[in-house]
Chains A and B, each alone.
Chain A
Amino acid sequence: MYKATIVVRLKPSVLDPQGNAVKGSLHSLGFEDVEEVRIGKTMEVWLDTSDSALASERVEAMCKKLLANPVIENYEYELEEGA
C-alpha cells in the first residue's frame, strides 16, 4: 500500500482571490507581517500496490487527467509506503 499526498496549487501567475482575502483578514488580526497568502488543496490517495514506480506513474496520470487543471494549476506529491 502506498499513500500519496498530493498538493494542487494555483500557478504563481494566476491571481488567488481567496488567498488575498485571507491575507486581509490576517492583517486585521494583527499579523501585519504577512506578505502573501496562497490557498491550495491537499488530497490523500491510497493505492493498492507495493511498486513505488507504478504508484508514482498512477498518481502522475490521475493528476494530469483529473486532480489538477494544467491551465491554472500545478501539482506535486509525496509517496509514503505502508501508510
Chain B
Amino acid sequence: MSSLPEPSEDSRDVEPLIPAEMAARIGEVVASRTAVVEVKEFQRWAASVKDRNPLYFDAEVARANGHPDVPMPPMFLQQVALGVADLDQLRPDGTAGTGNGNLSFPLCPRRMAGGENHTFLLSVYGGDVITQERRIDSIVEKSGRSGRFVLVTWKTTYTNQRDELVAESTSSMIARP
C-alpha cells in the first residue's frame, strides 16, 4: 500500500490514465461536513454489524466503565456526517461519489476500494458535533502485474465541537482500465 509513485517504463509513450484536470485537484478539500451524533443511529449500526455490546446500549454499563453515557462504536464515525444522497443522483456504478470529490478517470472505469486506515484518539458520545473534512492526498498512476492503474488516496480528519481531533483516516481507491 505504498503511495510512492512508480511510473512504469512503458507508460511514457502511452496516454496517461490521470487527466491533467484530475491531477490538479491533489490537495483539494472534497468534503467538509458537520453532523450531530445520534445515539439511535449508532445503535442501529451496531446491530447491523451484529455488535450487541452493552456498552453501546446500556448507559448503566457505560457509566460503570467510566463513560458519561453510551459511547459511539468507533467504526461508525465515518457514517456520522455522510451525505444524504438522492437515489436519482447516484452514478451509473451505484456509488454516490460526492464525498470523494467526484473524480473522473474516463480511461479507468473499473473501480474498487483499496483499503482504509483509521486512527482513533477520543471517545464520541450522543450529542457530540462531528466535523469531517476529507482531502485528496494523492493521485498516482502505478503499474502492477495486471497492468496500469490509478491509485487515489484521501485523508480525512474528524473533529468534535471542542475542536479536538477525534480520529484521522486514510482511504484509497483503485481504478483500472
Are chains A and B native binding partners rather than an unrelated pairing?
no
Q: Which B residues are closer than 8 A to A by beta carbons?
A: none
